[in-house]
Amino acid sequence: MAIKLVREFKQSQQLSITPQLKKSIDLLQLSRLEIINKINKEIEENPFLKKDYKNQPSGIIDNKNLLDNLSSEPTLQNHLESQLVDLKLTASEKKISSFIIQSLEENGLLKIDLDEIEEQMAFVYSVKEIKSVLNNIIQDLEPAGIGARNFKETIFIQLKRQEIPPEELEIANKILFDPRFSNFEEAKNELETHYFESAVENALKKIKQCNLSPGLEFESSIMIQPDLEIIPKNNRNFNVQFKKENFPMISLDEDLEKLVKDKKNKANKKLKEKIGEAKWLIRAINKRNETVQNVGTLICQKQADFLSEKSAELKPLSNLELAKKLKISPSTVSRILRSKYIQTPKGALSMKSLLASSVSKTRKVTPTQLMEEIQKIIDGERKKLSDQKISDLLNKRGFNLARRTITKYRMKVNLPSSRNR
Residue at 181: amino acid letter: F
**What are 250-297's pLDDT values in tens digits?**
888 888 878 777 666 666 778 888 888 899 999 999 999 999 999 999
- 165 cis-preceded (ω within 30 degrees of 0): no
What is the percent of the chain where pLDDT is above 90?
32
**pLDDT (mean) for 72-87:** 82
DSSP structure string for 283-296: HHHHHHHHHHHHHH
**What are 144-174's pLDDT values in tens digits?**
999 998 899 999 999 999 888 999 999 999 9
Report whether pLDDT(1) > 70.
no
**What are 294-343's pLDDT values in tens digits?**
999 999 999 988 988 888 888 889 888 899 999 888 888 898 998 899 99
pLDDT given at position 155? 94
Distances in Å between the Cα of 376 and the Cα atoms of 43, 306, 379 are 60, 23, 5
Strand-pair partners of 239: 231
**pLDDT (mean) for 121-127:** 90
Q: What length does the chain have?
A: 421
Rounded distance, CA 347 to CA 370, Å? 27
Give the single-character DSSP code of 384: P
Report whether pLDDT(104) > 60.
yes
**What are 398-412's pLDDT values in tens digits?**
888 888 888 888 877
For the four alpha carbons of 396, 399, 400 and 406, in that order, the dihedral sign comes to negative
Which of 139-143, 152-156, 236-240 has the lowest average pLDDT? 236-240
pLDDT given at position 200? 93
**pLDDT (mean) for 382-392:** 87
Residue 223 phi, psi dihedral angles, 5° rounding: -70, -30
Residue at 174: amino acid letter: K
Question: In the chain, what are the domains?
Answer: 76-140 (1.10.10), 151-217 (no CATH), 224-354 (no CATH), 367-420 (1.10.10)
pLDDT given at position 21? 67
**What are 14-53's pLDDT values in tens digits?**
555 566 667 777 888 888 988 998 999 999 888 888 887 6
pTM: 0.76
The kind and range of the H/E element at 372 are helix 367-379
Q: What pairing do the DSSP bridges indicate for beta strands 228-232 and 341-344?
A: parallel
Among 298, 359, 286, CA closest to 323: 298
Q: Which residues, 6+ apart, have CB-to-CB distance to 67 below 8 Å?
A: 33, 34, 37
